[in-house]
């Protein structure tokens, strides 16, 4: 479980999440492109599956950080 230690850590986490959001949008575009094809060659199918797995792991990572941010805001009394 992630815990925000102080305001600097909070700010760093917000910046990280913003950067990850932008990267994820770009990766989702690639995934959408893969998904637009009915029949991908095996190599591209493997890459598509790896991207799906990566995005699932990233979602969990982001969710943990967002939860930590919410808990920190409660801790410091910010809504």
Residue 30 to residue 6: CA distance in whole angstroms:
36
**Among candidate residues 76, 27, 79, the one with its CA nearest the CA of residue 52:** 27
Tell me which H or E stretch contains 74.
Answer: helix 42-76
pLDDT in tens, 1-55: 789 999 999 999 999 999 999 999 999 999 999 999 989 999 999 999 999 999 9
Query: What letter would DSSP give residue 38?
Result: S
* Cβ pair 4, 13 in contact under 8 A: yes
């Amino acid at each position: 479980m992630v815990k925000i230690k102080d305001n600097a850590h909070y700010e760093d986490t917000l910046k990280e999440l913003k950067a990850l959001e932008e990267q994820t949008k770009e990766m989702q575009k690639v995934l959408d492109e893969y998904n637009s094809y009915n029949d991908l060659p095996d190599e591209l199918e493997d890459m598509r599956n790896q991207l799906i797995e990566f995005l699932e792991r990233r979602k969990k990572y982001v969710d943990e950080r967002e939860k930590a941010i919410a808990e920190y805001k409660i801790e410091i009394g910010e809504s």
